[in-house]
Each structure stands twice: as C-alpha cells, then as structure tokens.
Amino acid sequence: MAIATPVSAELRTIREKVLAGERLDLDDGITLLECDDLLSLGELADSARRLRGGNEEVYFVNNLYLNHTTICRVKCKFCAFARTAKQADAEMWEIDDLVAHALRVREHQEFSEIHMVGGENPHLDFSYYVDITAALRKAMPDVHLKLFTASEIHHMTKLSGLTHEDVLKELIKAGLDTLPGGGAEVFAPRVRKIVAPGKEPGETWLQTHRTAHALGLRTHCTMLYNHVETYEERIEHLLALRDLQDDTSGFMAFIPLPFHPENTVFERRGWKFTTGMDDLKMVAVSRLMLDNVEHVKAYWIMISTPLAQVALHFGANDIQGTVVEEKIAHAAGAVTPTEEKVGDLVHVIREAGKVPVQRDTFYNVIRRFDP
C-alpha cells in the first residue's frame, strides 16, 4: 500500500495556488520561508519549474572569472574581497596584463564567457572601463563579455559625470554583452544602512538594470541572504525583481547568494555560514516567487556541488560554470574548489539524475550530454 507524503497545512493553500498557476504574494513567501517541511517545499518548487516548461536538462557554462581590481571605496561590511589602495595585497590589473592572462587560460580552456567584476576603485577613470572592455573584445571577439555589476556602473557615472544610460551605451559600443547580477544584496534601506552604508540605494540598482534592459542588454539578478535581513525583506527583494521583470523581461537568471562571514566584521560578531536547510529553502522559494524568471542557479561555488545536486530537485536548473578562479566567496571562507572542469560539472549533473547541457550566456545549447 502506497503511503502518501503528508503536506503540511500551511503549504496546502500555497500549493493549490502554484498548481493553478496563480501568483504568490508577500505573505505566501514568508510562509514558505517559515515552513520547515523541506521536502514538500522542494517538491512544490520542482513542480512549479516543470509547470513552466522545465524538463530534465540542467545548464552550465564554460566561463572564466576575472577581477580587474580589489580596490574598493565602499567598505561593505559583508565583503572580505575589497582592499584599500594602501594594503599590500590590493590588486589592480593593467589592461594588457589582464588580456594576456585571459588569453593564456584560453590556450587550455575554451571558455565561451568572461564574467568580470571588481571593486569601486576611486583611482581609475571611466576610460579604463571602456578600454578594458574594448581590449577583451578585440582579443577574443567570439567570447561573451558579462562585465560589471550595476554598482560598478553607478560608480562609473560618478567617475565620468555621465548618466547610467550613457555609461552603458559607451560600454556596449566597446563590446559589453550582458551585466552580471552582483551588487543587489538586499534592497531594503534598513538592511543596506547596516551592511552597505556606502553603497547606492537598492532603487538605483533596479533602475540601472531597467535602463540596461531598455537598451537591449539582458542581465542577471541576485540576492545576498543570511546577514541582517528578515524573511519579509528577502521576499520584498524577490518581489521587486519580479515587478521589474514584469515590465522588461530582461533578467535571464536569478542567483541566491548565501552570505559567507569569514574575514568580515560579522565573523567577529559570531555570524555562522548558512546551513543546507536555508540554502535549499532559498532556491525553492526563489523559484516559487520569481514565476517570470526562467532560470534559477544553484551556485556550486557558494553552496558546494553536493548541495547543488539536491538544489536541482528544489527548483534550480543551472549550476553556473567552470569559473576559474573565484575570489569573492573564497576571501570570505568558501571551502569549495575555485574551479571545476567541464567533465566534473557533467558528472555532478548526471549523478543528480539530470541531463547536462553546456550553454552559452543566452542559454543557447552548445552541447547536450546525452545520458
């Protein structure tokens, strides 16, 4: 006799809404985060993914991470990556050296995308950003350039006196293809005041992506969770992204980023790393709330490959990429490797019972690895 898995009462109404294709609201989101019936939550998120057309395919990208500078004026309290110019280990790449480094990696790794972000370096001027984009484009015309967070774009408006639109137009002219999703943190002003008082308001981040979308740039979006935000503030963040996506359809993917406290002031205040419970909840709840964002990434760098495998059954359909070489999470205590090879990602996805698909940045299929 089959024993049906009981679904907790609080999930029952939300489940009916999801299965009927109805939109979830703020209260639903908070209820989902408060719910400890993890398996039902995962099953519901997986059902939502399938109802919206998802299948057994799981994406990854062969990409290269670059960080042009670690020098940053902002001093976000969650960040262990930023340095001042005076610190001995501060990094700032000359353009030619950075391009030469990327070309050297390319000799043994056929990456299709460069993902490059850095600090808000007050010692650079806008021409550096334009020139580095143009130099990468010239050296690797066939590589997709996913460069600069919305926070960096905002910083460039300060450096140049240009509007966000004009900064983006200059970068697009130089070769920029898409924006990564970093810098979003949590939009709530209360949270930003505590963790990132020197950073632009959440509204500016959203407005910058809106402007990018209007110019035809597709972008990504993120949320950094498990520092000082409440569940309500997490859901409000997701709803702000959902509202923008309703207007523009410009986001390709959402990436939940678990806060890593090591080497930050939060470590001294006793903050702990997230647990698998919170990470899986965030993947599932993101999938359920963001009903208009096609892809949710289980970012193996921050949650590990074993948990990313589980997350693929909790609403995620992408595990990001080969990476080579991640520095932001690792500065803050990540214990994952800093890169994975294509063969290893294929193995991780297959062993999770899914079909690995190597994609380009726009989710076009480069190679499907049949079972």
The residues binding ligand V47 (CB under 6 A) are 78-80, 149, 180-183, 185, 220, 222, 224, 255, 257, 259-260, 264, 299, 320, 328-329, 332
Q: 18 vs 328, which CB is nearer to ligand V47? A: 328
**Minimum gap (Å) between residue 368 Cβ and ligand V47:** 21
CB of 313 to ligand V47, least distance (A): 21
Torsion of CA 70, 73, 75, 81, to 10 degrees: 0
Nearer to ligand V47, 69 or 149 (CB): 149
**Smaller CB distance to ligand V47: residue 37 or 91?**
91
Closer CB to ligand V47, 15 or 218, in the complex: 218
* Closest residue by beta carbon to ligand V47: 182
- Measured from the CB atom, the residue of 240 and 332 that comes closer to ligand V47 is 332
Q: How far is the CB of 210 from ligand V47 (least distance, A)?
A: 17
- 18/61 with CB nearer ligand V47: 61
Shortest distance (Å) from residue 300 CB to ligand V47 = 10
Shortest distance, CB of residue 69 to ligand V47, whole angstroms? 14
> What's the min distance (Å) between Cβ of 49 and ligand V47?
18
Shortest reach from residue 296's CB to ligand V47, in Å? 11
Closest approach of Cβ 187 to ligand V47, in Å?
Answer: 12
Q: Which is nearer to ligand V47, 24 or 250 (CB)?
A: 250
> Strands across the sheet with 355-359, in order?
318-321, 57-61, 355-359, 365-368
Please answer whether residues 210 and 242 qualify as being in contact, where contact means their C-beta atoms are separated by less than 8 angstroms: no
Q: Of the two residues 40 and 226, which places its CB atom closer to ligand V47 in the complex?
A: 226
CA dihedral (164, 168, 171, 177) positive or negative: positive
Q: How far is the CB of 87 from ligand V47 (least distance, A)?
A: 17
Structure tokens at 146: 């996913």
Rg of the chain in Å (alpha carbons) = 20
Return the HEC string of the chain: CCCCCCCCHHHHHHHHHHHCCCCCCHHHHHHHHHCCCHHHHHHHHHHHHHHCCCCCEEEEECEEEECCECECCCCCCCCCCCECCCCCCCCECCHHHHHHHHHHHHCCCCCCEEEECCCCCCCCCHHHHHHHHHHHHHHCCCCEEEECCHHHHHHHHHHHCCCHHHHHHHHHHHCCCEECCCCCCCCCHHHHHHHCCCCCCHHHHHHHHHHHHHCCCEEEEEEEECCCCCHHHHHHHHHHHHHHHHHHCCEEEEEEEECCCCCCHHHHCCCCCCCHHHHHHHHHHHHHHCCCCCEEECCHHHHCHHHHHHHCCCCCCEEEECCCCCCHHHHCCCCCCCCCCHHHHHHHHHHCCCEEEEECCCCCEEEECCC
Nearer of residues 28 and 120 to ligand V47, judged by Cβ: 120
